[in-house]
Amino acid sequence: MLQVDSLTKRFGGITAVNNVSLRISRNEIVGLIGPNGSGKTTLVNLISGFYKPDSGRVIFEGIDITGKRADERVKLGIARTFQIPKVIGNMTVLQNVVYAVIGSKRFKERKMTLAEAGEEALYYLDIVNLLRKRDILCRDLPIYELRLLELARALALNPKFIMVDEAMAGLNPTEADNVAKLIERLREEFNLTIVWVEHVLRIIMKSVERVVVMSEGEVIADGVPYEIVRNIEVIKAYIGEEMIKI
């Protein structure tokens, strides 16, 4: 479904993503992990079109989307969530999801009214279990519910492929477990392909089928989770070479 070929992105003298290649199959759930500053979010930004790559290609469903804008990629079915939840604080939970429905292609195609868009937004809020919070202003929501809201909003775009950027950050174990179950359920119910970016592998270990590990802008490992935890390169990247010698 998604093919990334030799993608490189530099910021001044720093190479944030260096010659990264990746293939993700339809309906697959892939974990993208790596220490802080390893280039995970930059890669998400490159795939979603928020950044333009210095070199390399992004191919989605056989179409070269490297030159396409982020909004055009959304229309092709690529959605994302943000590492720090980006919601419109002055708006209610419902209105935040309504925005996504209104921005979507089907709103125009089906000539939907605002009320119909609202009803559809309620459906997505119901899925992530936020229906009862629909009239609460987003600035009053705790981080857990903000994460759920971002997922509801991404779903409202009717995507085929979602990139979830550190959805577990700031959550307690119970909340993290709920989010993990929800992401798994969304894949089943909506037939989604998911790239799940996390800082720590342990959190997503049970949920993902394959793990891609990045360090210093490069892919250092790619395999099933139980192989990855034993991979010496991965251990070095996380705890450092000196610590391994000790």
Partner 1 sequence: MVMRFEERRGRIIIHFLNRWRFEWVVEPRYWRNPMIATFLWICIPLLIPFTPSGVIGIGPMALLSTLILANVIAISALAHSFQTIGTGRVNFGPHFFVVTGGYVAALLNKSYGVDPIITFLSSFTITALIGLVLSPLTVIARGIYFTLITLILPSILHEFTYWRSDIFGAETGIPGIARLISTGSVIYDLYIYFYTSFIIVAIILLVIDKILRSRWGFILGVINEDEDVAISFGLNIGRIKMIVFTITSGVMGISGWFITHYYGSFTGTVWLEPWMLIFILLSSVLGGKGAIYGTVIGAYFIVLLREVLRSYLRETALLVLYIILLVLLYLLPEGLWGLYRRRRYREYMPSVRIRRKL
Q: Does 195 bind partner 1 (CB under 8 A)?
A: no
Binding piece for partner 1, criterion CB under 8 A, among 25-33, 85-93, 189-197, 210-218: 85-93
Q: Does 160 bind partner 1 (CB under 8 A)?
A: no
Contact call for residues 77 and 160 (beta carbons, < 8 A): yes
Smallest gap from Cβ 28 to partner 1, in A, equals 22
Binding piece for partner 1, criterion CB under 8 A, among 12-20, 103-111, 199-207, 210-218: 103-111
Interstrand relation of 29-33 and 193-198 (parallel, antiparallel or unpaired):
parallel
Smallest gap from Cβ 157 to partner 1, in A, equals 6
Phi and psi at residue 159, to the nearest 5°: -85, 165
Q: Which of 8, 27, 50, 238 binds partner 1 (CB under 8 A)?
A: 50
First to last CA, the chain: 43
**Residues in contact with partner 1, total (CB under 8 A)?**
42
Residue with tokens 């981080």: 143
Contact call for residues 182 and 128 (beta carbons, < 8 A): yes
Contact call for residues 183 and 167 (beta carbons, < 8 A): yes
Q: Does 157 bind partner 1 (CB under 8 A)?
A: yes
Give the nearer residue to partner 1 in terms of CB position, either 71 or 242.
Answer: 71
Phi-psi region at 172: left, alpha or beta (left = phi > 0; alpha = psi -120 to 50): beta
Phi and psi at residue 175, to the nearest 5°: -65, -40
Which residues contact partner 1 (rule: CB under 8 A)?
A: 48-50, 69-72, 74-75, 79-80, 82, 86-92, 94-95, 98-100, 102-105, 107, 114-115, 117-119, 121-122, 131-132, 137, 153-154, 157
